Structure formats: structure tokens, C-alpha cells
Structure 1
Amino acid sequence: MGGRRETSPHPRTLSGENVITRLLAMSPRIRWRLAGLVLLLLSITATYIGQGVLVAQALARVFGGQGAGSIVWLVAAVVALQLLRSGALAVRDGVALRTSAAVKAELRRRLTAKLLRLGPAHAQRGRTGSAQTTLVDSIETADAYVGKFLPQMIAAVLGAVAVTAYLFMLDPLVGAVVLACALLLPVLPLLSDRVLRDRNAAWFRGYKGLYAENLDALQGMATLKAFNASGRRGAELGHLAGQFCRDSIRLMAAVIGYVGGVAFVIGLGTAVALGTGALRLAAGELTVTELLIILLLTAESFRPLKELEAAYHSSYNAVPSLKAVFEILDSPDPAQGTADPSLTGPPSVAFEDVLFTYRDRDRPALDGFRLAIEPGERVALVGRSGAGKTTVASLLLRFFDPESGRVTVNGVDVRDLPLDRLRALVAVVSQDTYLFHGTVRRNLALAQPGATDDQLEAAARAARAHDFIAALPDGYDTVVGERGLKLSGGERQRIAIARALLKDAPILVLDEATSSVDAANEAAIQHALDTLSGGRTTLMIAHRLSTVRTADRIIVMADGLIAEAGPPGELLAGQGAYARLVAAQDGATR
């Protein structure tokens, strides 16, 4: 149990074919929608074929000297086919929108659920802007890909095969010419695939990077202005935008080359088929009617493929975008078991020879860390920044897993607990308080969705938050803004404390819980926290040492290890590491 655990391998890169397979496999409802869309497209192709045959027959009768009466029913049939096609086109657009909307909704549901399961460890591997690009923009590319390209690809192949087969029946030589040119069209994507793939990947990387940098600049605008650095930052963004523009032009050049190749093959096929038919007519091997049908249907045999090219042009950036979505969906979920810590009171918590190193860092944050916290004990972690204090709390909550060693609750490895069960056992008040855009009531109810108004108010009063909440324009229904920006730092901190009080979990983590509280309220809130921690196993992380003097035991950390441990009074009298920290902090406040 204490050894290193193997992790699942990184998911392999998806190809375009795999993206199609994954989309089709998402749900039977989506497959049926796509099948209906393909049938509509084939019906549209059928109207064009029928129209071509009817027009050819009408022209042959006119050229043969027959009167207008002989083509009335042919013209009426052409009009009927056009009306049918107009209706099918209108229905196609609606079905395409509903199909792509269903795919996007399913992708968003799965991706959001996946990101929530992966948690902070995965989120910290990339940038916020890049993640937002994948969650929003990448999924939006499914509109053109699913609604246009994918069904058009299937319908184009089936339609071209049907028309070419009909031309074979009219004249095998003409059919062979059309087939040869039709076979050139699938070759073009194969020839251009490498160029398009590389340029597409460069474009998508540039897009995500530019989005992330712009979001970063907007979020840090006040800092840029304070340091008079907005001009320099703007120049850097301009350079990135220029590089992205060059990547876009290189990609567009490749796409235009592909489009031009398709247009050339279609024109070549039509011209060669028509010339071959004309020679066959001159030799007496074709009738005028058959030549006219060949003239009209040769172009029709390429129409679905030309529409496929247009659909590809509108969705060429979808494959790398959707690959990014599926690569996240394929990321392995954190392992979890079904064990139960069997709590009858506050649990014990233990860290046994824990080794943990953050991604892209060489030095471990915790190196053989060992700590046992008794049920109901209040333990404070102190030490300089970077000593590993917050990492201890992150491992307890399984935001990360140790490389070796284990973390236990009542003797059960946290990796063997269901994640929901583990996190239900822990209430957290962090120094970096996060409030969601919404009302005060909604932010408090995160801890207990079914809480009554009386319970919300009781928790707020205990955290010394009720008075300022009641003074807000709409009281508990006041919208706090993104990240709670309409409130002061101290007010946000008190709402976070009230939220933890409301959760009423048996394990409490206080990560510098009074860091943003003013001196006038600190004593009262500290008293509330002391009351809250009573009867709970409490882990207190502190830089302000005045907040941990009521702890049962103080752990002084340095370089991921315990440098000193004991009751506050003993450590203070011992003149060791803790005493030096207190002396340094007291001296700094004078």
C-alpha cells in the first residue's frame, strides 16, 4: 500500500478517422440524426439527377422538332422536383442545426464532467485561456463538421457512385472517364494531408496561445497599468497576433491549393467526359438524348464532391479542435475505491513517507513526509513559503496523488475512498477565497444545497458575516460578481468561513483562514474558528503565527520535511525553529 502506484499512459493522438468514429459512437440518437441527414442529402442529389434526365429528354425532343406540347409534362416534373428540393434543403438546414446542437450538448456535458473529475491537478497543466478555448471554441467547430462535412462526405460518396454507375449503363467508356476523375478527388486530401495537418496544428496552437495571453492581460490589467507595462505587453500581444496571422495565411494557402485542385479535377472530368461523348456521338455510338444526359449528369456526378469540398473548407479546423476535446475525455480518471472509513466521530489523518513533486519541478515539495493527526486534534503547519504546507492539504483532498507513500483517513488510503466521500469529509477555508458569479445565498449553499434560510443565517452570524450581508442592496440575494469582486477581501473571507461552518464536516482545513480579515474582526472570527474546530480533526496552515497559538500541536516545516514539532508552549520555550519564527514575526510587526 505504501509503494509507488502506476499511472495510466497518456492517451495516444487521435487521427481524423478516429474523430469521426468517436463522434458516431457518442449516442444512438446522434447516429440516427446523422443517418436522416444523409438520406436528405441523397434525396437532394436524386432531384438533381432526375432534373438532369428530364431536361436532357426535353431538349432532345425540341432539337428533334417536336412541339411544345410534348415537353409539358417534362417541364412540370422539373418544377415538381425543384419544389421538392427546396423543401428538402429547408429541412436539411434544420436537421443539420439540431444534429450539431445535440453533438455539442453531449460533448459539453462529457467534457465538463470530465474536467470536474480530473480536478485541479489537470487544470494546472495548462493555462486558463487554453482550457476555455477547448471547452467553448473547440466544441463550436462541431457545427460545420457534424452539420455539414460529415454527412456530406457520406452522401457525396454514395451520390457519386450512383451517378457514375448510371453513366456506365449509358456508355462504359464515358463512365470510366468520369470514374477515373472521381477517383482523383480522394487522392487530393491524401496528398495535402501532411501539409494541412501540420499547418492546422500550428494554427490551433497559435490560436489557443493568443487567446490565453489576451485573457491573461485582461485579468492582469490593473497590474500592467500600475507598473506602466501595458504598452510593452501590448507590443508582445501584437507580435503573437502577427505570428498567428502568418500561421493563418499559411493554412489558408494550403486550403486554397486543395480547393483549386478539386476545381481543376472537376473541370477536367466534365470536359473529358463531354469530349468523349461527343466523339462517340459522331461515331454513331450514342444518341443525342444520351449525350445530353451525359452532359448534364457528368457535372451532377461531381456536384456532391464539390459540395464536400465546400463543407471541408468550412470545417478544416474542426479535426484538431475536436482532437483536443477527445484527448481530454481520454485522460485517465483519478483512481478511486469503494472503501468506507466507518466514522463514529472525528477521524484520524496520517501521512506515511509521502513523496510528491509538482509537475515541471526538480525538487520535491514533500520528501518522505510523515505526520499522524489524532482524532479531534488541532495541528498547525507553519514555516516559510515553499516549505510544503499547502501541499499537505492538497494531498489530503486528493487534488494530487503522492508519487510514493500514502495519505490515510482512519487508516484507509484516500485513494481507496470514493472521491465524493473523501471530499464530503473535509471542509476548507483557503486564503485564496473563490466566490462564483451569483448571489451570496448561492455561494453559501455550495456547502449544503438544501440549507434553510435559518441555517444560512446562523453560519453567517458565526462567521461575523451576517451584518454586512444584510446591509448589501439585496441582502443574501445580492450578486457578488465574478470571483466575488463586488466584495472586499475580508468580506469574501468571512463568506468562505460561513460556507465551511455550514458544511459541518469532521475534518477541517484552515489555510490562512483569517489572512484577509481586518484586525477589528480577527479576534471574533478566530473565536468562531476555534469553536468550529472543536470536536473536529483540524489542519491549520498559517503564516501569521498569532492564529495558531490555540493549536494542540505545531509542526514546523522546512524543505518538505518536519523540522520541529510539539505543543506551542514547549516549542516557544525551546528556542528552536518555531521560537525563531515567532521572534522574527513579532519583530517585523513592531
Structure 2
Amino acid sequence: MIFRLLTPGVRRRVAGLVALLLTITASYVGQGILVAQALARVFDGRPVTSILWPLAGIALLQVVRSVTLAIRETAAIRVSGLVKARLRKQMMSRLLALGPGHSGRTGSAQSSLVDGIETADAYVGRFLPQVAAAIVGALAVTAYLFTIDPLVGLVVLACSILLPVLPLVSEHVVRDRNNAWFRAYKGLYAENLDALQGMATLKAFNASGRRGAELARLAGEFCRDSIRLMAVVVAYVGGVAFVIGLGTAVAVGAGALRLAAGELTVTELLLILMLTAECFRPLRDLEGAYHASCNAVPSLRAVFEVIDAEIQPSGGHTLTPAGPPAVNFQDVTFVYRERDRPALADFSLEVAPGERVALVGRSGAGKTTVAALLLRFFDAQHGRITIDGTDIRDLPLPALRALVSVVSQDTYLFHGTVRRNLALARPEATDAELEAVARAAQAHDFIAALPQGYDTVVGERGLKLSGGERQRIAIARALLKDAPVLILDEATSSVDAANEAGIQQALDTLTGGRTTLMIAHRLSTVRDADRVIVLDAGQVVESGGHRELLTRQGVYARLVAAQEGAA
């Protein structure tokens, strides 16, 4: 993971950060040497003028350190910002490429996209440069202490080696707790987002109090996981402080004994005192950087799980139908992830060019799965799907989806204007073309009556419009795309009886000259289909025209009778 974060451009910037940190360490070391020399001269009874040059050097080093610290802060923000921007671009591109077939809750993906990537700030900008600077700085100062006194150098070296080992031991101990913390965080994030999006439903069913209690329970579990994680981190921090204190005390004590034996001078003892502290300073800074970035590993691992998720392979064939194409499903079997029962089992269907075929059946029969497979949101485990004889897996995904228009029962409009939502199908469309498809979809009149007409903002998910209005915009959008294959997934589900005739007229316009799959629960919408396919448990159980199936008195006839009886 570290190698992937440190791309060539980033490596150079991180190396620059390491150089800045070493400059800061050098300023502290130089300051310690000058302080030791100044104190030694005072102890020797020399005049005050003898310490003026050391004092001037200390002041100069402080200025250098202040400037370097400011540069380091700016550089750290820039390098971490570069990494975060690249990760967000990669993750968002992968999510868009994966499409709705990628499993996972919206809140979990959003937590990784926002907060998970933010952890790269401390990890790349602070922790990784500090690791290199701490090792190099500590070894350099320790080597200098060896020249003063080998025994003191050995003591400091032992502690310097022990300190970098502590994060490795801590990481081994903290890994499970860190992963548990991040899972709890993502779950709590997803549940809170779910509650906010479903607030109207919670209020309507007087369930907001119960959901609030559930969220409070999840928050309590997250708090518990956070405390367990912090307990390990605090133990690590205490261990670092203990080793630093022990190393300093032992080094100074050994130096004092050597001074008493006449083997060291006062100046050398003062150098040991000052430099031992400066040797441990970068290691202590490393502990702070580790503490700030301890959540980065599981967070960034979740980000790379999305970036590394396998994208459906696509071929390079081209297909430009001269007219409505034929669509064939040949012995298709598909099982959703984490389910045992196939959604489709040995499903075969031949749709002739320009034919309107209705798929009906009870909920869970596999109707929507047929549409999802045709759009390659998923790939079937067995069988093949072809358009005009070409396997859809041999087509580039953009080319395949350019051949298919969809009007869904759950129409999604983006926050923006009516014009922008219509132009999603064809951004270069003119105002006249937008108005033409809106008129054909029986949508122009209500759009013109909006406060700003086609420039009216429809709100998040189009909630400023009624369900029927959103559906008509979806039909207009499909008309504008003008694809040769059309999928109507319960396209009149949100339309009231008064407007259904107008919507049905728009749908008749839309289906003209196209190969159409009509997925329907309301069987009144499929009477004019050329053929009706009845699905049950992912298999075709009946096929024929509306009247023909009614006379058979089979599954379709019972479904129609049940709906008419319910009405």
C-alpha cells in the first residue's frame, strides 16, 4: 500500500519533506552543541563575552528552524493534497466504472471516499516522512555520541533501535481493534445516512424514535471500539515516553560516572545531556505522527479495495444496427452474490427486431434481473446474451449501453434544472430538440408551467416534482437518447389514473421502431404487447399473447384475476 501511495511524483515530494525534517533535526542538534559549549564556558568562569557567539548561533538556528517548519507545513499539505486528489479521482472513476452492480452501501462508499481518503493527510504528509527522518537523524546523532563515549553511544543506540520497533509491535496488537473500529465507523456512517434519506418514511410510520435508539446503540458500540483502540494507542505512547526517559537517564548517568572517574570532561557530559535529548526528539515526533495516523491503514485499505475491484471486461467489437436489433438470451443462469437460489435459471428468450415483449411475474421472479444483465450491470455465470448475434461481452461497455434506453420505475433526477436532466441523454441537444421530446412525452405543458420553465431546479432526486412528472421527464430523456433497444421497467408505476392515458400514449411513441422489453407488475399495461413472457423463480413458465394466455387459464390468467379482484 505504501508503494502505491508513493508514486514517482509523490516520492520526490516526500523526499523533500524528509530533507526538511532532517534540517530541523540538525538545527536542534546544532543548538544543543552550542548550549553545551556556552554552559561549559560559564562553568569554567569565562567572561560573558565568550558566550556571545554561541548565543548568536542559537538565535540563527532558531530562525532557520522556524522558517523550515513553516515550509514543511506547507509542503506537507501540498503532498498529502496531491495524494488525496489522486485517490479520490481513482476511487470515483472506479465506482462509476463498476456501476450499480458493485455491492456495498452508499454510506460505506461515501465514508471511504471522504473520510477514508482524508486519513492520507497525516499518513503521507506526517508519518511516512517522519519514519525516514527519525531513523536517519537518530543514527547520525548516535554516531556522534559514539565519538564522545562508546558506552553512552551503545545505550542511546539500544533505545533508538527499541523505539522504531514499538510501532511494529503496536501495529500487530492494534490491527484487529483498528479494523473493528473502522467497520463500526462505516456501519454507523451508513446507518445515519440511511436515516437522513428516509426521514420522511420514519416520521410517517412514527419510527424515528426507534431508529434513533438503534443509532444510539450503534454509536455506543462505536464508542466502545474507539476506547479499546485508544487504550492500545495510549499504552504505546506510554511505552515510548518510558523508553525515552529511561534512555536519557541511563545515558546521563553513565556519563556522570565517567566524569567522576575522570574519563569525560564537563563539556562532553553536557554534550551527552543535550544530544541524548535531541537524538530522541525525532523519535518522539515519530510517535506523535503515528498516533495521528493510526487509523490510516484500515481506512486506506478500504479505499484500495474499491480501486482494485474487478471491472467487467469488455471487447472491442463494433455494432451499428441499421434498424431495431434482435435480442437473445441463451440458457442464461445468474445468481446474485451472497444468495443461493438463482435469480435466472436456464433462461432463454428471443426478441425479434422491433418486437414488444412484456415480462411479467410475481416479485422476485427475475424480471428486473433480465434488464440488469442486458445492460451488463452484472455478468451471467452461464449462457450468453446477444444483440444482432453479437455477444454483449464482446462490445465495449459504453457502446453496449449506447444501444439501450431505460425508463425505470424508480426514476432518478439529479439536483439541477429540468434542461440538465433531459440533456443527460444527449448533452449537445438543442432547445428545440429538448422541447420536441418533452412534447412527445406529454411533459412540455407542466414544464412550461414551472417557475423558470426548463431552467427550474428540480431538487435532490427530483423531489420538487410529482412522481408522474418525474416519469414523463424520464420518458422524454429516453426519447432524446433514441437508442434502438428500450427497457420499460414498470414505467407507469408512479402515474395516477388520470394521467395514465397520456403517459401510455407517450410510451407508444417511445416504443415505435424499437425492440422493447416491458417489465410490468400492473398487467393492464401489457395488453398491447406483441408477446407476454411469464416468469416464475427465474424460469419461463408461459409465453404467448395476452388473450391467448387468458384462455389457457394458467399462471398469467391467475395473475390477471388476482389484480382485477384486488382492484
Query: Which TM class, normalised by the smaller chain length?
Result: over 0.9
Matches within 5 A, 1:480-499: 480-499=458-477
Q: CA deviation at 1:269?
A: 0.7
For 2:229 and 2:361, locate their aligned partners in 1 and report how far apart those are by CA, in whole Å. Answer: 53
Secondary structure in 1 matching 2:136: helix
1:324-354 residue CA offsets vs partner (Å, 9 max, x unmatched): 0111111111111112234222211110001
1:467 counterpart letter in structure 2:
D
1:176 and 2:154 matched: yes
Aligned residue among 201, 221, 233 for 2:179: 201
Residue 258 (structure 2) pairs with residue 280 (structure 1) = yes
Distance 2:265 2:450 in 1: 88
Question: Which whole-Å CA distance do the structure 2 matches of 1:395 and 1:531 have between them?
Answer: 25
Q: For the residues of structure 1 that align with 2:168 and 2:294, how far apart are their CA atoms?
A: 14
- Corresponding residue for residue 135 of structure 1: 113
Using the TM superposition, give the Cα deviation of residue 285 of structure 1 relative to its aligned residue in structure 2, in angstroms. Answer: 2.0
| Letter of the 1:343 counterpart | P
Mapped pair 1:393 → 2:375:
no
Q: Which residue of 2 aligns with 1:54?
A: 34
Partner of 1:514: 492
| 1:556 is the counterpart of 2:534 | yes
Q: Deviations over 1:350-384 (max 9, x none)?
A: 10001111222222111100001111211111122
Distance of 2:63 and 2:540 partners within structure 1: 82
Equivalence for 1:86: 66
Question: Does residue 45 in structure 1 map to residue 25 in structure 2?
Answer: yes
**Letter of the 2:88 counterpart:** R
SS in 2 for 1:278: helix
1:414 corresponds to which residue?
392
Q: Report the identity percentage.
A: 73
Corresponding residue for residue 240 of structure 1: 218
CA contact (8 A) 2:188 2:215 kept: yes
Contact 1:341–1:411 (CA<8 Å) still a contact in 2?
no
Superposition CA RMSD, Å:
1.5
Equivalent residue number for residue 542 of structure 1: 520
Q: Specify the SS of the correspondent of 2:315.
A: coil
CA distance in structure 2 between the aligned counterparts of 1:454 and 1:38, rounded to whole angstroms:
60
CA deviation digits over 1:568-590, x for unaligned, max 9? 3433444433333333323332x
Residue of structure 1 in register with 2:166 after alignment? 188
C-alpha distance in structure 1 between counterparts of 2:132 and 2:390, whole Å: 54
Contact 2:417–2:457 (CA under 8 A) maintained in structure 1: yes
Matched, 1:444 2:422: yes
Q: 2: CA distance between counterparts of 1:498 and 1:223?
A: 29
**Deviation sequence 1:395-435 (CA, Å, 0-9, x none):** 00011111111111111211121111111111100001111
Matches of 1:190 and 1:48, distance apart in 2: 27
Between the aligned partners of 1:92 and 1:119, the Cα distance in structure 2 is 40
Specify the alignment match of 1:118 in structure 2: 98
When structure 1 is superposed on structure 2, of 386-395 and 230-239 the one drifting more is 230-239
- State the shift of 1:309 in Å: 0.4
Correspondence list, 1:420-431, <5 A: 420-431=398-409
SS in 2 for 1:516: coil
Q: Is the 8 A contact 1:104 1:139 kept in 2?
A: yes
One-letter amino acid of the counterpart of residue 83, structure 2: V
Which residue is equivalent to 1:33?
13
Displacement of 1:195 in angstroms is 2.3
- The alignment of Structure 1 onto Structure 2 pairs a total of residues equal to 567
Structure 1 residues 112-511: aligned runs within 5 Å = 112-122=92-102, 125-511=103-489
* Partner of residue 9, structure 1: none
**One-letter identity of the residue aligned with 1:197:** R
State the one-letter code of the partner of 1:71. Answer: I
Secondary structure at the aligned position of 2:21 is classed as: helix
Superimposed CA distance per residue, residues 556-578 of structure 1 (whole angstroms, 9 cap, x where no aligned partner)? 11121111112334334444333
List per-residue Cα deviations over 1:196-245 (Å, max 9, x = no partner). Answer: 11111111111111112222222222322333322222222222211111
CA distance in 1, matches of 2:452, 2:267: 80
User: Structure 2: any 5+ residue segments left out of the alignment?
Assistant: none
Single out whichever of 440-449 and 337-346 deviates more from structure 2. Answer: 337-346
Partner of 1:70: 50
The answer to whether structure 1 residue 24 and structure 2 residue 6 are counterparts is yes
1:476-520: CA deviation from partner (whole Å, max 9, x where unpaired) = 222222111111111111111111111111111111111112223
User: Take 1:68 and 1:464, find their aligned partners in 2: how far apart are those partners?
Assistant: 95
Deviation (angstroms), 1:106: 0.5
Distance 1:377 1:337 in 2: 27
CA distance in 1, matches of 2:173, 2:444: 62
Write the distance in 1 (CA, Å) between the matches of 2:211 and 2:119: 30
5 Å-filtered alignment, 1:8-19, equals 19=1
The Cα shift of 1:79 comes to 0.8
